[in-house]
Amino acid sequence: MSNSRVVADLKKIAGMDNVKVSEPMRSHTTFRIGGPADYFVTPQSTEHIQQIVKYLKNRHIPYYIIGNGSNLLVSDNGYRGVIMQLYSRYSGYEFLHDDVKSAADKAGIVYIKVQSGMGMMRLAALAAEYSLEGMEFASGIPGSVGGGIMMNAGAYGGEMKDIVVRATVMDEDGNVRELDNRELEFGYRTSRVAAERLIVLEAVIALCPGNQKAIREKMQEIAQSRRDKQPLEYPSAGSTFKRPQGYFAGKLIADAGLKGFTVGGAKVSEKHAGFVVNTGRATAGDVVELTNQIADKIYQLYGVKLELEVKKLGFDER
Ligand SMILES: Cc1cc2nc3c(=O)[nH]c(=O)nc-3n(C[C@H](O)[C@H](O)[C@H](O)COP(=O)(O)OP(=O)(O)OC[C@H]3O[C@@H](n4cnc5c(N)ncnc54)[C@H](O)[C@@H]3O)c2cc1C
């Protein structure tokens, strides 16, 4: 099937402005790394997502979902297929109460239904605006709600599993269903969404009425702590490795003397050894070489197997 035919069909479904060709993935990842995706689509409705999934399945065209690309390393060759980004163009929300303020005044739980492209930081800011607590932990996590559910993102004592009541998901055939919190099978930085290659479309989030000043103070404390400890001045994908049972990846890497260890433009942060940063011109190849060398060294020294938390896309697996 010709390239121009696919582009025309995708534009017909998603709209002219929502389809790009040979789109550099470095523009859509917080690592600022990644070659071109053949097609890059930003659907704005659930119907469009469903039509695209069915269209691609019928034509055996591979696709991959991203949110803000904040946990993603895309290869230098890019991706042969369609990247479907569910982020700011698919980020509506509604309170599941007629009047959120009166619900909050009655000290009841407040439910917010969000499309999966809603940023977790934006949702935390919205929660604070309405004096709702429970979302503060996510105020510095630069991903989407969909990516957060897929990864069961967490920080500072909170995780997505604590606040997600249920999610609407789509399978690879385009079938839509709801999964409740238990059915989402959240684990450490994973969920059923990952295991079954589901697409998170929407989620219902439960938050509790709280004290706005206290909520904002907690968010500021978290932001300050992140600024103090994390290399936010460099592009990265957050923690590079998962926490191995009984250890902290960053501590093992620091203890191994690997702070500042560099391959090409990829470097182990001097500020937080759990982060690999892009010092400016890192390639995906640099990051892969660096992380392989780190993992080998940590295994040699401590017998601990480090597993990447960052998702790799467009590579032949090692
Ligand atoms: C500076 C920095 C700090 C970070 N701090 C934290 C932290 O404290 N805690 C933490 O857990 N993470 C942290 N992260 C990592 C990252 O923000 C989270 O993993 C986040 O949940 C990823 O969301 P995303 O939308 O960017 O997902 P992406 O990176 O776009 O994708 C990640 C995975 O989720 C899948 N995915 C994305 N959207 C959907 C969807 N709608 N449906 C199905 N699958 C989907 C993708 O296919 C991919 O496999 C940090 C990252 C950075 C850069």
Instruction: Go through the domains of the chain in sequence order and give each one's CATH number.
Output: 3-87 (3.30.43.10), 91-216 (3.30.465.10), 231-313 (3.90.78.10)
The residue-averaged pLDDT of 206-214 equals 95
Q: Which residues contact 34 (CB under 8 A, 6 or more apart)?
A: 24, 25, 26, 28, 72, 73, 74, 75, 76, 78, 284, 313, 314
- Asked whether the predicted pLDDT for residue 104 surpasses 70, the reply is no
Model confidence at 101: pLDDT above 70: no
CA-to-CA distance for 246 and 25, rounded, in angstroms? 35
Residue-wise pLDDT for 4-44, tens only, equals 999 999 999 999 999 999 999 999 999 999 999 999 999 99
Minimal-distance CA residue to ligand 1 atom 2: 238
- In the prediction, which pLDDT does 86 show? 98
Q: What is the pLDDT of residue 152?
A: 97
Q: What is the pLDDT of residue 141?
A: 97
Answer yes or no: pTM beyond 0.85: yes
Q: Identify the band that residue 187 occupies on the pLDDT scale cut at 50, 70 and 90.
A: very high
Q: Does ligand 1 come within 6 angstroms of the Cβ of 250?
A: no
Distance CA 252, CA 89 (A): 40
Averaged pLDDT for residues 141-170: 97
Place of tokens 């191995």: 244
239 catalytically annotated:
yes
For the question of residue 309 being annotated catalytic, the response is yes
Q: Which two structure tokens, joined as six digits, stand for 252?
A: 């093992």
- CA dist 252 → 188, 190, 257, 286 (Å): 19, 22, 9, 21
pLDDT of residue 317: 56
Ligand 1 neighbourhood includes 66 CB (under 6 angstroms): yes
Ligand 1 centroid–CA 108 distance in Å is 30
Mean of pLDDT over the chain: 95
Residue count of the chain: 318
Burial of 114 (0-12, 13-18, 19+ CB in 10 A): buried
pLDDT score for 108: 79
Tell me if 218 sits within 8 A of 155, measured CB to CB. no
pLDDT score of 103 more than 60? no
For position 316, what pLDDT does the model report?
76
Give the mean pLDDT of 109-116. 95
Q: Which of 26, 32, 166, 189 is catalytic?
A: 189
Closest CA to 25 of 14, 36, 41: 36
pLDDT tens string 163-184? 999 999 999 999 999 999 999 9
Please state, for a pLDDT cut of 70, what percent of the chain lies above it.
Answer: 95
**pLDDT digits over 249-300, tens only?**
999 999 999 999 999 999 999 999 999 999 999 999 999 999 999 999 999 9
pLDDT of residue 318: 46
- Probe residue for ligand 1, chosen from 63, 71, 91 as the CB with the greatest number of ligand atoms within 8 Å: 71
Judge whether 171 and 196 are in contact, CB under 8 Å: yes
